[in-house]
Structure 1
Amino acid sequence: MNMLESRWYRALEVCANFLYLNLLWLVCSTLVITFPASTAAMFGVVREWVKGREPGVTGSFFSFFRENFRQSTWIGFLWALVGVILVVDFAVVRGMGSPVREILYVVLFVVCFLYVFTLVYIFPVIVNFETRWPLVIRNALLFSMTGPLVTFACLLVLILAAAAFVFFPLSIFVSGSVGSYLVYRLCERTFEKVERIRGRDGEDR
């Protein structure tokens, strides 16, 4: 096998892994309650890829699924609940009179901003750090604020993945795994940046 054939085979193997991982994610997300754990499992697998490790997709996926099921499910439920509360709050504020309405709108938009920013990092934090769920949320918020440009880039990736599904429905078979890979690769930069800062602080002390 020459070099060109080897590269072609490698490219096909990578594409097949992304497709297979995406299918696992879709199948395991069919029940709404399993969506957070399935998403955490997908991020766990792409984390291994970003780190340069290539474990078996099936075994790694279900290992991460079981490992993160409880925590990711609770966080997913909490985040969905907060999202519903925000929607209800907007509906309530809409019926209020000025100028109270404008002030509350500003407050709600700030909360939504933090809500979305934190959501970007939740699953990368779950699979990258072993910590309790309140700290997962706190760390996700702090990381999102530490690297705002990276956070915006992650949001752009997610928006493009959603747009791809709207205009090209068949992209659903790859958009999840590819999107999560790109998001985690971006988040990894923030993780490394924070680790470097902590390292320098430790040397200063």
Structure 2
Amino acid sequence: MREKGAMAVIYRSCEAAAKIAWLNGLWLLFTLGGGIVLGWAPSTAAMFAVVRKWLRGRTDLAIFKTFFEAYKSEFIKTNGLGLILAAAGCMLFVNYHFFQSRPDLFSIMISYATLLAGVMYGLVVMYIFPLYVHFQLPFTRYFSQAVLIGLVRPLTTIAMAATGGLVAYVLIVVPGLIPFYGGSLFALVLMFHAHRCFLRLEEIKAESSPESQK
């Protein structure tokens, strides 16, 4: 007999919390299994792939099977994304701190230019994995599309940054949650906003296509 009322809400909430924690455990396990450097990007992509299926109504899917299949099939390509992101992030960090400490005008200009590039980089970080699991694109287009969508959909970008910041705040206040929800909560809130954005963009594209105007 199915629970009703408040008990049903409590049961579904506990079930959802357990699934999110299990997904986070898989993310940590496969990240470590790949030696972190070669594990974090495919694990993150696999985590977003599972979350995307949840948001599309597949709440009863086999989490481990779905995660592992995505991890294995996208291992090489996602490591390419991950290595580019890591290298770009390190370059921006070093570049900014090097020029920010110098007082001449040229260095100040480079510092501001690096900050602007950092904003673009932040857009890529927020959108790249949701884009990757939702669309089939040429490899380099994931980066350009992440920046483009982040700029043309500012409300979505602000919502992603705000909810991501809220998750970070909760995890800082309650650090005991990090091993259970440190990655999966970020994936959940980022994919939630990105998925709605992608669906809306697909609707706009369909409405503006010649076929829809006949």
TM-score > 0.5, shorter chain as reference: yes
- 144, 154, 172: which one pairs with 1:148? 154
Which position in structure 2 is the counterpart of 1:48? Answer: 53
- Segments of 5+ residues of structure 1 without an aligned counterpart are none
Is the deviation greater in 142-151 or in 94-103? 94-103
**1:160-200 alpha-carbon deviations (Å, 9 max, x no partner):** 33333322211111232122111111001210221122112
Match of 1:38 among 22, 40, 43: 43
**1:123 aligns to 2:125 (yes or no):** no
Matched, 1:91 2:102: no
- Shift in Å, 1:40: 0.6
The residue that corresponds to 1:18 in the other structure is 20
The aligned counterpart of 1:197 is: 204
1:204 offset after TM fit, Å? Answer: 4.8
- What TM-score do you get using the length of structure 2 for normalisation? 0.88
Paired residues of 2:96 and 2:115 also in contact (CA < 8 A): no
Is contact 1:50–1:185 with CA below 8 Å preserved after alignment?
yes
Higher helix share: 1
Q: How many residues align structurally?
A: 205
Compare 8-17 and 66-75 and name the one that shifted more: 8-17
Aligned counterpart for 1:135 among listed residues 118, 138, 141: 141
Structure-to-structure mapping, 1:161-176, within 5 angstroms: 161-172=167-178, 173-176=180-183
Partners in 1 of 2:202 and 2:187 — Cα distance?
Answer: 22
**1:3 aligned partner, one-letter code:** K
1:109-145 CA distances to partner (integer Å, 9 max, x unpaired)?
1110000011100000111112232011122112211
Aligned partners of 2:156 and 2:193 also within 8 Å = yes
Q: What is the rounded CA distance, in whole Å, between the counterparts of 2:186 and 2:201 in structure 1?
A: 23
Map of 1:158 onto structure 2: 164
**Pair 180,102 (structure 1): closer, same or farther in 2 beyond 3 Å:** same
